[in-house]
Amino acid sequence: MNNWVVTTLQRVMEKVAAENQRLDGKTPYIPYDGFYSDVMLERGSDWWANGFWGGLLWQLFNYTGKLELREAAIFQEKRLDDALATFRDIHHDVGFLWLLTAVAHYKVTGDQQAQRTGLHAANLLAGRFNVDGNFLVSWNDQPGWVIIDSMMNIQLLYWASEQTRDPRFAKMADRHAKTVAKYLVRADGSVGHIASFDAETGRFLTQLAGQGVGADSAWSRGQAWGIYGFALTYRHTRDQTYLAVAQRIADYFIAQCQLNHYIPLADFRAPKVPKLVDTSAGMIAACGLLELADWLPSAEEKPYRSAAQSILMATADQYANWQTTEDGIIGGGTEAYHRPATYEVPLIYSDYFFTEALLRLEGQALFLW
């Protein structure tokens, strides 16, 4: 396994170096006809996935020390300043945007402006807290909706409490996590995508359909956000409740993945036709499974670590594109079940989490959450 990880990381570095030259400062998302465009021009500076390329660059700079990666990562962070300055459509995804850019910059170099940017983002996230429902509002146009993805973004609040020694950020994150665990994580370990609450009273109403098939389905990327998000929340709180929730979701995810040779379907409860996979769910889950394994007793952690390795190797074998003349490493990502234009394509966050998982296996990952 170690030889495979080292060899694969070398291929990642070669590919990213070529992509970085071609991009010349653009922010990637999906390569069309084999090449990245600039997603900031297409979907705006506040698009939720705009931090993943910067995060990938920081991970590889931390691993290699190559200055061109650091400079490119800082440039990506500065591009995001427009989203903070104009505040057009910032949602709960500030964690995805600035943990992987400004906070990474601060962690690696100690840059004080980067720290201030990260804290600014954390204050914007804290401002989304519904005090009656104990949740952070996910989307601006739906003040009573909470999505499972939020479990990754609340990690920014834990970081902010550590930096400021102000417990309010962490308390909001903790209350939100408990709400998500209660209303989005089901008894069998499957996870709903959207929980709807009465915005005025905070009363739970129902689960809603989102990027999966329907309200009662099991969108695989949502399962992956749940594994990693609750495992990270345990890291920050040491509350065993979160570790147990992460383990329950992980058990469900692994059992479902094994049915398709460790490549997750886009939704584990989807109709048999069309058969859609989402490799991005596998890459996120691999990181979550490795995080979970780190906190379990040695007698319990092996199945999770083994599953992560199986997912990574199966995905690389079937979906990796190592041609340095084309953009995107991991194909087979499905943005949303009801969005055919983005069925089984390379997604920038697949590449980020694939690389983070490899670095975790090497003991070389920069912790950004």
Q: Is 149 a residue of the active site? A: yes
Residue 339 has pLDDT above 90, yes or no: yes
95 is written with which tokens? 């964690």
Q: Of 46, 149, 278, 351, which one is the catalytic site residue?
A: 149
Residue % of the chain over a pLDDT of 90: 96
Q: How far apart are the first and last CA of the chain?
A: 26
* Residue 93 bears catalytic tag: yes
What average pLDDT score do residues 263-272 get? 97
pLDDT digits (tens, 9 = 90+) for 221-266: 999 999 999 999 999 999 999 999 999 999 999 999 999 999 999 9
- Annotated active-site residue in 46, 93, 267, 278: 93
Check whether domain 2-362 has CATH 1.50.10.10, yes or no: yes
The pLDDT tens digits of the residues spanning 166-178 come to 999 999 999 999 9
Confidence grade of residue 1 (pLDDT, cut at 50, 70, 90): confident
Q: Name 27's Cβ contacts closer than 8 Å, sequence gap at least 6.
A: 38, 39, 40, 50, 53, 76, 79
Mean pLDDT across the chain, nearest whole number? 97
